Chains A and B, each alone.
Chain A
Amino acid sequence: MQELRKRAGELLADGTVARVLAWRAGDLPYNPEPAFFETEAELEHLVYDGFCGANLSKLMIEASKLEGKTLVCLKPCDTYSFNQLVKEHRVDREKAYIIGVGCRGKLDIEKIRRQGIRGIEAVEGAELDGPEELTIRTFSGEKKCAYRDAMLERCHVCKGKEHMAYDELLGESRDTKDAERFAEVEAIERMPAKERFAYFQKELSKCIRCNACRNACPACSCRKCVFDSTKFDSEQKANVDSFEEKMFHIIRAFHVAGRCTDCGECSRVCPQGIPLHLFNRKFIKDINTFYGEYQAGTGSDEKAPLTNYTLEDAEPSVVRERG
């Protein structure tokens, strides 16, 4: 963290960048938030630890419009999103100075809470070079929790510790993958249709349409979302029927299909804890199965799966036939 502050300060000072896009401490000890820093003095508020899950690449859309370069801190998985935004001409690579920050997995405060740890006042050991165990100070004393057990779901299926784009690297990254990426999706696929339906009905009925998923998602970067515009007579309004969440989430997943890098921000930010990444991951799995392995955001020029085709593609009836 100190190193990052120092390096950012140098780059600000020598005029390489006009501002720094990173995280600063939030009102609670475990919710740092994205922030722009324009002076060296402000940098003392810059933080970087296990709770800095937020993917900053989307903020580069606005930063690309500003004068001068922006220093942006990107974790390995964030760089996929960044590349995808560059590919879609939303972010100007020339306007970014990327520091690829190290990552040893990001933390999910809910995972800690689910272990019965309540009244959290502070969490120690969340920094990049911290110990394997977190020490959590609560109203009722100190609690311990393995770092690994407090990691976000997405870190257990991490795409890898390599940065797909950067100008310089800072800090070690670690492979945190210890689960199969599609295991969750496959488990649901194995359920009978009725159970699948019940499962999603339960999950989606929690949705309060706060739009946190949409706001956090780097692929959901439309200037104006179709659900806010009059384009389809589908503008957001008081839900007249129960269908709208479903439609919203299906369409949202469809709109990002082939563009979603599986960064997991949607699920991370959902205040209701809906496993929204399942929709995106289902599409990714289907795309891999039907059209060959595809990972958005690797920086290749490959056509996106939904703007591409082959003469021998599977017919839609394949869905019915596989039962």
Chain B
Amino acid sequence: MQRIGVFVCHCGSNIAATVDVKKVVELVRMEPGVVWAEDYPYMCSEAGQSRIAEAIRTQKLTGVVVCSCSPRMHEATFRKCAERSGLNPYMVEIANIREHCSWIHKNTEEATEKAVILARAAIAKVNLNTPLQAGESRVTKRALVIGGGIAGIQTALDIADAGYEVDIVEKTPSIGGRMSQLDKTFPTLDCSACILTPKMVEASANEKITLYTYSEVEKVSGFVGDFTVDIRKKARSVDMSKCTGCGVCQEKCPSRKTPNEFNRGLNTRSAIYTPFAQAIPNVPVIDREHCIKFQTGKCGVCAKVCQAGAIDYEQKDEIITRKYGAIVVATGFDMIKLDKYGEYAYEQSPDVITSLELERIMNAAGPTKGHLERMSDHRPPKNIVFIQCVGSRCADERGKSYCSKICCMYTAKHAMLIRDKYPDVNVTVFYIDVRTPGKNFDEFYRRAVEEYHVNYIKGQVGKVTPQPDGTLLVHGVDLLDNHQVKIEADMVVLAAAIEPNPDVRKIATMLTASIDTNNFLTEAHPKLRPVESPTAGIFLSGVCQGPKDIPETVSQAGAAAVKVIGLLAKDKLLTNPCTAKADVLACNGCSACANVCPYGAISYEDQEVRAPGVREIRRVAVVNSALCQGCGACTVACPSGAMDLQGFSNRQMIAEVDAICR
């Protein structure tokens, strides 16, 4: 029989206000195995922990139950406390009487009764706990960053700076990401390329950083410290070692009708292309779907004009396998599709554009060489209307429930830049709220109004109607004046909501990183562990975790890097001792467990089995505890119950069930 101590936490009033902690203490004293029970205002405090430590020593406790907050909060705290007092940390169990009890129930009697039952279940479990020893596993001192935007680049630079090898996998032909598409950045109006390209060059030049552009992560296996990743290097059709980046191939390519993704489809590009002038690596790729050579077999102009002989039509996708200790997700965002917003006529009129398209129009390297003009007739617009919150803050299925966070600021930036360069253009912004938290952000917005006289009207636009004369009739409302507003605009810019890169779902599945309903990756703790995924060894950088502007992205990228460095700096990691274990006496050797093991942790050996009346060689299951992650799939696949999970054993689970149903 165990000697169990039960420690009931008040958590100030968080627990004690709804749960009668004194009564809990009084009732758990009667449970089998319990030799000590007490309550304290804050068990997790220094003083609270020392009470536990003292009881372990004086009462010679062999098991501890702490009735407190979620084990996800303080299980580690109390286990360490037990360990310091000479008790095996796995002899500690938590009864969650805060999140699962006091916070959700109002009736004291009910809550107290439930708290007692939860405590009982934990006590019943501890009665069957056995001391467990954590094993050790190796750490591969190399990190993988998925996504080569500003978030990925910054994370990689910081990791490399600490002396660790880091690989960036980028899906497109060049690193740079969304930021490379931007013209200017708020709130200082720096040229985006001017501040980004040095970082891109640095990443490419850093000997600790390896870039895999035009590549995708194909498969991930393993666990923290020891991931194995297959990367598909898509066939570029251009030999990177030979290409000089002269650009002649792109000039001569006869296939020029492909929508230019980098310019958001506002113009076209050649089939062999580099997305933009400062691309890194400055090596083009052949878009085989649109290449005449690949489609018809006849052409080959690029190969003819290439002085370096770098064109290679035979190139094949290549899969490389690398080992990593940590993986950072930095997959970024895209704008939502606007096909469900018929009222804004985005699909009807080329003069209704998204903000990102405006960025390209304003950019000197963009489709209009930086001249502000209508895409329909290339005339300069006189009246521009900006519509905010298109698809953000929506309660219906057309849009996103969240605020996209960056739109208020970039719209102020756009309005200001237009008024600055073209003072005779009228700019109207229809807003619902102007949200400008951030250093120098509100000042920036106020400048747009006060200095540049941008016309801000509070009220969402109802409809944009393209007129026969090519103008766009904007039906709005001024909620402050309480009258409807109709503006004949010649250009309408929609601040479309941003959403995580659609590929992230696939990646999250490979990484077993959790993801929320909006496809943003979930952080381990919303406040205290914002750059870590709940899955150990997976870190989050940039917008894949939630909407962010550039400064926030860069700081989060750095934070993720620090977490990675902290992990890679370790030589060994302690492994979870709650692994599966087979009882050779009961094992049938049937392989059911091995068939469901996602880690290949179960193998079979012929072992001599000895027991009363038995002495024979049997085929039995053996668990490699370094590979086993403790999911328990095998325990249910096993019909004889020979396979059990330490720390969550069959008998422990049954004891909990019994305690709850008592």
Interface residues of A (CB under 8 A from B): 65, 88-90, 221-226, 229-234, 255-256, 303-304, 306-308
Pairwise interchain contact A89-B586, C-beta atoms closer than 8 A: no
Cβ of B590 < 8 Å from any Cβ of A?
A: yes
Docked CA distance A229–B650 (Å): 12
Cβ of B519 < 8 Å from any Cβ of A?
A: no
Pairwise interchain contact B595-A304, C-beta atoms closer than 8 A: yes
Cβ of B644 < 8 Å from any Cβ of A?
A: yes
Docked CA distance A89–B593 (Å): 13
Cβ of B585 < 8 Å from any Cβ of A?
A: yes
Docked CA distance A222–B592 (Å): 12
Min CB–CB distance A103 → chain B (angstroms): 28
Given known A-B contacts A65-B616, A307-B592, A223 and B587 have beta carbons under 8 A apart: yes
Closest 6 CB pairs of A and B: A231-B641, A307-B595, A222-B640, A88-B590, A255-B639, A226-B641
Chain B: which residue is nearest A311 at the CB level? B509
Given known A-B contacts A89-B619, A232-B654, A224 and B637 have beta carbons under 8 A apart: no
Residues of A within 8 A of B591 (CB): 88-89
Pairwise interchain contact A221-B588, C-beta atoms closer than 8 A: yes
Docked CA distance A256–B637 (Å): 11
Which of A225, A231, A256, A304 has the largest number of chain B CB atoms within 10 A?
A231
- The one of A65, A231, A306 in contact with B637, judged by C-beta atoms closer than 8 angstroms, is A306
Pairwise interchain contact B637-A232, C-beta atoms closer than 8 A: no
Q: List 30 A-B contacts (CB under 8 A).
A: A65-B616, A88-B590, A88-B592, A90-B588, A90-B590, A221-B588, A222-B586, A222-B588, A222-B639, A223-B586, A223-B588, A223-B640, A224-B585, A224-B640, A226-B641, A229-B586, A229-B640, A230-B651, A231-B583, A231-B644, A231-B651, A232-B654, A233-B651, A234-B654, A255-B639, A303-B595, A304-B592, A307-B596, A307-B637, A308-B595
**From residue 283 to 299 of chain B, which have CB atoms closer than 8 A to chain A?**
none
Residues of A within 8 A of B604 (CB): 89
Min CB–CB distance A270 → chain B (angstroms): 20
Chain B: which residue is nearest A232 at the CB level? B650
Pairwise interchain contact B641-A229, C-beta atoms closer than 8 A: yes
Cβ of B459 < 8 Å from any Cβ of A?
A: no
Residues of A within 8 A of B642 (CB): 231
Residues of B within 8 A of A303 (CB): 595
Interface residues of B (CB under 8 A from A): 583, 585-592, 595-596, 604, 616, 619, 637, 639-642, 644, 650-651, 654-655
Chain B: which residue is nearest A256 at the CB level? B639
Given known A-B contacts A304-B595, A307-B596, A232 and B590 have beta carbons under 8 A apart: no
Residues of B within 8 A of A304 (CB): 592, 595
Chain B: which residue is nearest A307 at the CB level? B595
Q: A88-B592, A226-B639, A230-B651 are in contact. List 11 more A-B contacts (CB 8 A).
A: A223-B585, A224-B586, A231-B641, A231-B642, A231-B651, A232-B654, A255-B639, A304-B595, A306-B637, A307-B592, A307-B595
Pairwise interchain contact A89-B641, C-beta atoms closer than 8 A: no
Min CB–CB distance A244 → chain B (angstroms): 14
Chain B: which residue is nearest A227 at the CB level? B641
Residues of A within 8 A of B639 (CB): 222, 226, 255-256
Docked CA distance A277–B644 (Å): 29
Chain A: which residue is nearest B649 at the CB level? A231
Pairwise interchain contact A231-B650, C-beta atoms closer than 8 A: yes
Min CB–CB distance B89 → chain A (angstroms): 25
Min CB–CB distance A42 → chain B (angstroms): 26
Min CB–CB distance A319 → chain B (angstroms): 19
Residues of B within 8 A of A308 (CB): 595
Pairwise interchain contact A232-B640, C-beta atoms closer than 8 A: no
Chain A: which residue is nearest B596 at the CB level? A307
Docked CA distance A62–B616 (Å): 12
Min CB–CB distance B652 → chain A (angstroms): 10
Docked CA distance A269–B520 (Å): 58
Docked CA distance A224–B639 (Å): 10
Residues of A within 8 A of B654 (CB): 232-234
Chain B: which residue is nearest A84 at the CB level? B590
Docked CA distance A233–B127 (Å): 14
Chain B: which residue is nearest A233 at the CB level? B654
Residues of B within 8 A of A256 (CB): 639
Min CB–CB distance A223 → chain B (angstroms): 6
Pairwise interchain contact B641-A232, C-beta atoms closer than 8 A: yes
Residues of B within 8 A of A255 (CB): 639
Residues of B within 8 A of A231 (CB): 583, 586, 640-642, 644, 650-651
Residues of B within 8 A of A229 (CB): 586, 640-641
Docked CA distance A221–B639 (Å): 10
Docked CA distance A47–B644 (Å): 45
Min CB–CB distance B614 → chain A (angstroms): 9
Chain B: which residue is nearest A309 at the CB level? B596
Residues of B within 8 A of A225 (CB): 640
Pairwise interchain contact B640-A226, C-beta atoms closer than 8 A: yes
Min CB–CB distance B619 → chain A (angstroms): 6
Chain A: which residue is nearest B653 at the CB level? A232
Docked CA distance A88–B604 (Å): 12
Docked CA distance A89–B588 (Å): 8
Pairwise interchain contact A90-B640, C-beta atoms closer than 8 A: no
Docked CA distance A90–B592 (Å): 12
Chain A: which residue is nearest B637 at the CB level? A307
Residues of B within 8 A of A88 (CB): 588-592
Docked CA distance A222–B637 (Å): 13
Docked CA distance A256–B616 (Å): 26
Min CB–CB distance A102 → chain B (angstroms): 31
Docked CA distance A222–B643 (Å): 13
Min CB–CB distance A24 → chain B (angstroms): 27
Which of B588, B596, B641 has the largest number of chain A CB atoms within 10 A?
B641
Docked CA distance A16–B641 (Å): 38
Residues of A within 8 A of B585 (CB): 223-224
Min CB–CB distance A227 → chain B (angstroms): 10
Pairwise interchain contact A90-B589, C-beta atoms closer than 8 A: yes
- The one of A89, A226, A232 in contact with B589, judged by C-beta atoms closer than 8 angstroms, is A89
Docked CA distance A223–B586 (Å): 6
Docked CA distance A303–B586 (Å): 23
Min CB–CB distance B661 → chain A (angstroms): 12
Min CB–CB distance B551 → chain A (angstroms): 40
Chain B: which residue is nearest A222 at the CB level? B640
Min CB–CB distance A226 → chain B (angstroms): 5
Chain A: which residue is nearest B593 at the CB level? A307
Min CB–CB distance A310 → chain B (angstroms): 14
Docked CA distance A304–B592 (Å): 9
